[in-house]
Structure 1
Amino acid sequence: MATYDLIIRNGNVVLPDKVKKTDMAIKDGIIVAIEDDISDTSKEERNADGYYIFPGLIDIHVHFNDPGRAEWEGFASGSQMIAAGGGTTFFDMPLNGVPSTTDTKALLEKVEMAESKSVVDFALWGGLVPGNIHELKGLADNGAIGFKAFLSESGNEEFERVDDLTLIAGMKEIASLKKILALHAESATITDFLTKEKVTNGHLTADDYLASRPIAAEVEAVERAIAYARITGCPLHFVHISSEEAIKKITAAKAMGQDISVETCAHYLLFNHNDFKDKGAIAKCAPPLRKSKEQEKLIRLLIEGEIDMVSSDHSPSPFMLKDPTAHHLFSAWGGISGGQFTLLALIELAITYEIPFNKVAALIAGNPAERFNLKTKGHIEVGKDADITWISLEESYTVSEKNFFAKHKQSLYMKRTFPCAVKLTMNRGSVVFENGQLVNRMEKGQWIKPQETKMSTSS
């Protein structure tokens, strides 16, 4: 009788502290051995010679729009895209579905839909909006991974930004629930004022859009949120931070003992304002792509360890909402479609800037798992789920409509060539993507619930 279900031999395994050429054994979806020349028998063996085996990416920031707007993406196509990018777990944001995930009923309806469609594991954010503070406990008790709020307009009428009183009261409640509040940190006062001024005067270029959402708006919102968190004791997670000055404010607050984590996105690291000017609305996001000097600063902060994790903020829409014949840059939908490319982007940066692969693994898997206390995820270790992806550095990967698994193919990443490729993705020991193709399997992804909020990022 076979000891293991699978032995993977000769892979360059990206462990938490190093990369080691070794074997790995899997049984019942769990990593049960990592050692040289495993001699026991298995039902199957695979030779990973020449490949780098990373922990499966955990993308804590995607917008899949299910239920209600599945024509924008949906759990089926979105989870397939995540798997094709080496991902094994995603956290879906609460705002783009109809209804928004702001009460227990909406959460459980979304769970049922995701369980029936997703090919990889998932967690779900709850929302903090004006008028729903009394709903937060129910959302927490029923498995929300944390809460998300906007300090500027969300772009969706169904999900209102928080005013200051809602924000500070919500923080107090979230702290009592031992949860994390994720914040889109841009000052509505600043962005609304500047946007109105630009649009009223017919100033609608990419330069104008960048000017309407300045770094000052991000910094002001970050500082205000940090002050409120200091008063309430609320753990914070800042999403898609785009500027050095904002990161420095967060780093200083961490040094003072505040419970804060911060992400940036792959598109802020790979692209800049010149790409926005060149590509138009498909490169529009909020905060906007910054100028090249700011991009360079962000990369340096990533290398120096001041950024805890990197996510995609995959925020797609039908092309008609970005069509330049129907919309100017201010009225076009603001969101980057690119959830398949975060790991590839980080490996490209690692090659370019000589970043150790174990640090890449921390940014895309280890730190997210530790921050949100996903005890069985995030690292290639004995006892963890066999969530892994094989990466080839011998192949390049050029993005095309054929190999981009998102529902809508208009993307900032289209035609970009990465110096690496995803060979295979396993979720709990089961292959979901291999050699450019999705693999059908009997079981679907599982809903991952948090246990207790924990801050243990390895910055």
Structure 2
Amino acid sequence: MTATHDPVDLVVHADAALIDGAFRPATIAVRAGAIAAIEPLGSPLEGREIVRLAPGEVLIPGLVDTHVHVNEPGRTEWEGFASATRAAAAGGVTTIIDMPLNSIPPTVDPAALARKRVAAAPQAFVDVGFWGGAVPGNLGSLRALHDAGVFGFKCFLSPSGVDEFPHLDPAQLLAALRELAEFDGLLIVHAEDPAVLDAHENDGGTSYARFVDSRPPEAELTAIGRVIDGIRETGGRAHILHLSSAAALPLIAAAKAEGLRLTAETCPHYLTLDAEHIPDGATEFKCCPPIRDEHNRDLLWQGLLDGTLDLVVSDHSPATAELKLGFDGDFGRAWGGISGLQLGLANVWTDAARRGIGLERVLGWMSSGPAGFAGLASKGRIVVGADADLVAFAPDAAFTVEPAALAHKNPVSAYAGAALTGVVRTTWLRGIPVGDEARGRLLERAEDRSTA
């Protein structure tokens, strides 16, 4: 903790601020976009702007969402950098890392990454980093994309749903892990086994239960087992994306206990929704892997509490209303993906509070945890020297989700009509409230290589 009595840009007085993993009264000073001092509440600091949080508001670090599909360029009608980053800020998210698909071209080489940067730079309202992709066609040349600053490489072990981003077969998975191990690159994996999916394929239709049957837990278990075998053989590191099936938790826990470099995430929709309450034909709930039953959901929460799961991130995967809802409720034909970037914090906090889980734990999974995972040392914490990415959050304030009122480009939400608790009042990016000017920066893998 460093004190300063020189004039600063912003002073925030908060009855409760999340500092060192616990809430306590504090006065936060911001200079040149960074936290300059943390002092006892009411300290007489002089600042160009002085903010006193209202009763019932707490000061938290901006969230870091490492799993966001922005889709620009190429499918900007699904979402784009302007709408996605506005939605992020409205939900208390100050940093996102964009997935290499479903943009066209996908981010599988430095030229495609450069196109993403050009698209994002003038319209990012929060900070944006980028994942690269590992596909059959770029194996053997991943180092160039790594050196260009991507945070790691996403792959699918089953068809991705878009032709321009094919999946890796078992031999290619091993080749990718071996190649990345040479420079300690990270592989992040959509882990579903295609043979299991093929064996359980059905005729689709409007039955949600039949859709879940077509993507059983065995698909995740088999694929995750293959990833674990691969990192054991190569000495590489990997991350399991959007874990849906709690049946895989023991497998992940055992790999960690063995000392393998494996991490795993789950998503708000797996923690807050359940198959028992999804109506037939309600394709706004379709995602892959699928939302499973209530007991499975409870076990995922336990996996977070015991440390088997490391992160909670959105897997914001939007599409147009026509693609999500335009097939008469046929789960086999509708696009899969949950549009939840703006609602992640409120969704998880609402359920966490019901379970007696503190907000500080939630923020560990959604802010400091993802920041540490991505190597963003200046993000996700209220600490002297960190970026002043701050959020005034009212944890007891209630609201009802109205899709048309969200900043997402398409007004489709699995949470329509949900009564949630937790409202973002103000989001500051490096000490400046997010407003009508796009001030976000483009981030590279090493924090000190970020570019304005």
| TM-score normalised over the length of structure 2 | 0.94
| Residue of structure 2 in register with 1:113 after alignment | 119
- Find the partner of 1:168 among 174, 177, 187: 174
In the alignment, structure 1 residue 447 sits paired with structure 2 residue 442: yes
Contact 2:374 2:445 in 1 (8 A): yes
State how 1:34-183 maps to structure 2 within 5 Å. 34-36=38-40, 37-50=42-55, 51-183=57-189
| Residue of structure 1 in register with 2:315 after alignment | 313
Output the aligned Cα RMSD.
1.6
Structure 2 unmatched runs, 5+: 448-452
- Find the partner of 2:28 among 1, 13, 24: 24
Contact 1:279 1:412 in 2 (8 A): no
Question: Deviations for 1:341-397, whole angstroms, at most 9, x for unmatched residues?
Answer: 111122213311222222212101111111121111111111100111111134212
| TM-score normalised over the length of structure 1 | 0.93
State how 1:26-425 maps to structure 2 within 5 Å. 26-36=30-40, 37-50=42-55, 51-195=57-201, 198-199=202-203, 205-278=207-280, 280-326=282-328, 328-425=330-427
Distance in structure 2 (CA, Å) of the matches to 1:225 and 1:49:
48
Amino acid paired to 1:450: R
- TM-fit CA distance, 1:2: 5.9
- TM-fit CA distance, 1:49: 3.9
- Find the partner of 1:13 among 17, 20, 23: 17
Structure 1 unmatched runs, 5+: 433-438, 453-459
Contact 1:85 1:422 in 2 (8 A): yes
Amino acid paired to 1:365: S
| Residue of structure 2 in register with 1:455 after alignment | none
| Residue of structure 2 in register with 1:457 after alignment | none
Contact 1:321 1:327 in 2 (8 A): no
SS in 2 for 1:299: helix
SS in 1 for 2:391: strand
Contact 2:208 2:280 in 1 (8 A): no
SS in 2 for 1:322: helix
Question: Deviations for 1:237-294, whole angstroms, at most 9, x for unmatched residues?
Answer: 1110012221221111011001111100000010011233356110000010101111
Contact 1:242 1:290 in 2 (8 A): yes
Distance in structure 2 (CA, Å) of the matches to 1:294 and 1:393:
26
Where do 4+ consecutive residues of structure 1 move more than 6 Å? none
Distance in structure 1 (CA, Å) of the matches to 2:59 and 2:184:
34
Contact 1:15 1:358 in 2 (8 A): no
43-52 or 257-266: bigger deviation: 43-52
- TM-fit CA distance, 1:131: 1.9
SS in 1 for 2:271: helix
| Residue of structure 2 in register with 1:435 after alignment | none
Amino acid paired to 2:232: R
- TM-fit CA distance, 1:327: 6.1
- TM-fit CA distance, 1:300: 2.1
